Chains A and B, each alone.
Chain A
Amino acid sequence: AQKVTQAQTEISVVEKEDVTLDCVYETRDTTYYLFWYKQPPSGELVFLIRRNSFDEQNEISGRYSWNFQKSTSSFNFTITASQVVDSAVYFCALTTGGFKTIFGAGTRLFVKA
């Protein structure tokens, strides 16, 4: 069975702090994709990144970085020098076998000025 666990329900930081959002997944499939989505207060879901199971390279995009470790089944997301605009709910998701996507429960991030 597939499962995505985001153990952090809410995180509160002060602007300019770094913050890491944890994601742990479970799957028996050898081919799978992992995603992060952002849901700002306006409600839409914004795609951030996709990573396949054969590519463990970490990725950096501006202030965002992602650390994928198959050995620990984790795909963590770090925001460096957080800003108020980063306040949102962040979802980690797992897709195996084509289309079935399982979302984690989400982590609500508050960034205070």
Chain B
Amino acid sequence: DAGVIQSPRHEVTEMGQEVTLRCKPISGHNSLFWYRQTMMRGLELLIYFNNNVPIDDSGMPEDRFSAKMPNASFSTLKIQPSEPRDSAVYFCASSLFTGPIDTQYFGPGTRLTVL
């Protein structure tokens, strides 16, 4: 079975440009997470969706970041405008939440470099 798919795997852009990261969760999973990993801050949860609805976006660093999940098989994380401090690895994870706790399965990540 296919795992979580993320694209692109690497993205290099210039400051001020719009960046869109994409994620396809594992088929049948009902929860989706976006994380950011940096050396300084480790793994941070940015936003969590359940049944395509954003449940908690308190980790989104600022208004330049937005995430959508238009259907159960696709999500995007957009940064506009991008800044050098946004350089990080962005992970998408999905899970089948049946309560009380689920196990998250991670995609390969997108390494973003903002020059």
Q: Provided the pairs A43-B89, A47-B103, A91-B43 are in contact, do residues A99 and B108 lie with their beta carbons within 8 angstroms?
A: no
Question: Which residues on the B side are within 8 Å of A28 (C-beta)?
Answer: none
Select B111's contact among A43, A98, A99, A105, beta carbons within 8 Å: A43
B106 to chain A, nearest CB (A): 4
Q: Provided the pairs A31-B100, A43-B111, A106-B42 are in contact, do residues A100 and B56 lie with their beta carbons within 8 angstroms?
A: yes
Question: Which residues on the A side are within 8 Å of B50 (C-beta)?
Answer: 99
* Bound complex: CA A32 to CA B101 (Å): 8
Cβ of B31 < 8 Å from any Cβ of A? yes
- Whether the Cβ atoms of A99 and B106 lie closer than 8 Å is no
Cβ of B65 < 8 Å from any Cβ of A? no
Question: Which residues on the B side are within 8 Å of A106 (C-beta)?
Answer: 42
- Whether the Cβ atoms of A98 and B42 lie closer than 8 Å is no
Select A100's contact among B45, B93, B108, beta carbons within 8 Å: B45
Q: Provided the pairs A91-B43, A106-B42 are in contact, do residues A33 and B107 lie with their beta carbons within 8 angstroms?
A: no
Q: Provided the pairs A45-B91, A103-B42, A106-B42 are in contact, do residues A95 and B109 lie with their beta carbons within 8 angstroms?
A: no
Q: Provided the pairs A43-B89, A43-B111, A44-B109 are in contact, do residues A101 and B42 lie with their beta carbons within 8 angstroms?
A: no
Interface residues of B (CB under 8 A from A): 31, 33, 42-43, 45, 48, 50, 55-56, 89, 91, 93, 97, 99-109, 111
Other A-B pairs beyond A44-B109, A52-B101, 4, CB < 8 Å: A43-B89, A44-B108, A99-B50, A99-B97
